[in-house]
Structure 1
């Protein structure tokens, strides 16, 4: 008989957790590689390539020869000179043109044949041939005109007297009288018209240039008081006021100026008598 202290059934032995066999293990999940290292490598390579290209460009620019502006201009001139005709070609063309001209002249004016032993005929200048460098002789001045001009100039009273008296004296002693200013174009036009109307042998018009006299301003004021005209020219024919440049031009256009100038001495005598 079994012992009362001995259990009938013995407890199962304790179990041990043993690792599963390798064939039964599940594979762990693989991690994806990070793109950051690859990006860093690509950027580094790009920077290296760009730096190399920039450095090679600078080296090639520094090694290129610099051509001065003067050398470039000289090279252009050399090309132009090479394209232009040479001096020999120009001289040959000029000689050919001269030969053609001489041939044409010989054909137009053939030489005159003369007997053997006789002297060659002298060259006869063409009629009305002008001598180069010499001006045609001027006609001698008329003694009458020179004397009349000197007398008219001497008859103008010098400055210093009463302006109104000087104006009255000039008007009473000069048949054709013009008060003018040397720089005035209207005065110039009136003087030319009066000089053209004076007949041959008669004294020229008496001209009083107010801007060349010390009392020119006072004389112009006296003229304004006497004629009511404050501008120049101021023309008198036979002691009578005619007007200015426009009035003289109108008389010339109407054909009356010549007769008035011719009759001015007689009118002046009749007025002062």
Structure 2
């Protein structure tokens, strides 16, 4: 996928039935800013739309596949982020949340870091966490904020015996989601975090996997989970959320109540806001 130049736009109104409008409706309105959609079709990409929330701008081109680009202020082109199979709005929105928007936020974080303004950097992560805190409160869940001297700021909350923590470091607004609790609680959330399975999932050979908990996890998501040399379970590649699941005693049986720990990095605030109802 190559960069898309800002050329030859034939702009007209985008009907609400357009997949771009349906995608925008599935993205969270950060600090009340809804995603605006405008036509961005051209001879180069005839079914493209631009989505912007005032801070971030995406170009989405719907063809046999869906191409996603980001616009960097001051540059006369859109840079490629992802190519997604199909054009179904829910699938496109899911991958924007998991993959594309965190990439855009990381670019903005890098630009903020280069300014070397510690006070402003802290304000950026506190503002992001304030959104998450307010969303949890709206769902009836109390979260405990923390702000450490090593530039780590975050939220802790507990629900139904499951402990969650979301933390941001320095100027970053893409963070780490940590979990401590029963196995079935993590299994409930993993489908919202892991990439969707391909149309044909190869049969998983589990003879090399040790431990009942690891086998249960990997057999459920063989397209993306793998066991590391310590017997724990890893996932994530490239720009996707990546994580490590600590499965405990390899000799223990796998039960819904089996205790596990997980650290999941590259989680964007948009993605977190969308999956919060599953974390309480």
TM-score interval, smaller chain: under 0.3
Q: When you count helix as a share of all residues, which structure comes out higher?
A: 1
Q: When you count strand as a share of all residues, which structure comes out higher?
A: 2
Greater Rg, structure 1 or structure 2?
A: 1
Query: What is the TM-score of this pair, normalised by structure 2?
Result: 0.18
